[in-house]
């Protein structure tokens, strides 16, 4: 995957990006991980795959997952989470309360940050805790 996805920004620049930008990328990375995992471990048809995927990627599930792994995070990762949680979003959640939405954004921000900074080993460790 690294051969065809170019992550060219230095870490100093990534640190200056908005936590919502990290979350934008993290949302995609996390959903792709879940979808791929389900395809590898089940024989479900596409609609059922979609239904199963939603169970993992909805805000409430992501917020619970962040709570579950929080003590396993480094101080730097907890800082990334804090920045993501406190990011000012003008989007109103549809299927979650505001707190769940903020924690889901924080989780996605962490995933996106780890991905953008090429911390793939740590990213996999955290993603593996999700399933």
Domains along the sequence of the chain with CATH: 19-128 (1.10.1520.10)
Q: What pLDDT, on a 0 to 100 scale, did the predictor assign at position 8? A: 81
- The alpha carbon dihedral of 5, 82, 24, 101 has a sign of positive
pTM: 0.91
- Which uninterrupted H or E stretch holds 121? helix 120-128
Cβ-based neighbour number of residue 58 at 10 Å = 15
CA separation for the pair 111, 69 (Å, rounded): 13
pLDDT tens for each residue of the chain, 131 residues long:
556 677 788 889 999 999 999 999 999 999 999 999 999 999 999 999 999 999 999 999 999 999 999 999 999 999 999 999 999 877 766 778 889 999 999 999 999 999 999 999 999 999 998 77
Q: Known catalytic residues?
A: 27
């Amino acid at each position: 995957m690294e051969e065809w996805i170019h992550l060219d920004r230095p870490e100093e620049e990534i640190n200056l990006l908005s936590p919502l930008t990290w979350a934008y990328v993290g949302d995609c990375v996390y959903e792709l991980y879940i979808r791929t995992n389900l395809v590898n471990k089940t024989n479900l048809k596409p609609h059922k795959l979609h239904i199963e995927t939603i169970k993992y990627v909805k805000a409430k599930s992501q917020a619970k997952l962040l709570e579950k792994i929080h003590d396993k995070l480094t101080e730097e990762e907890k800082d990334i989470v804090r920045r993501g949680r406190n990011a000012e979003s003008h989007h109103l959640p549809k299927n979650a309360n505001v707190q769940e939405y903020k924690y889901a954004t924080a989780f996605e921000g962490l995933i996106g940050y780890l991905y953008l900074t090429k911390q793939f080993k740590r990213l996999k460790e955290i993603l593996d805790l999700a399933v």
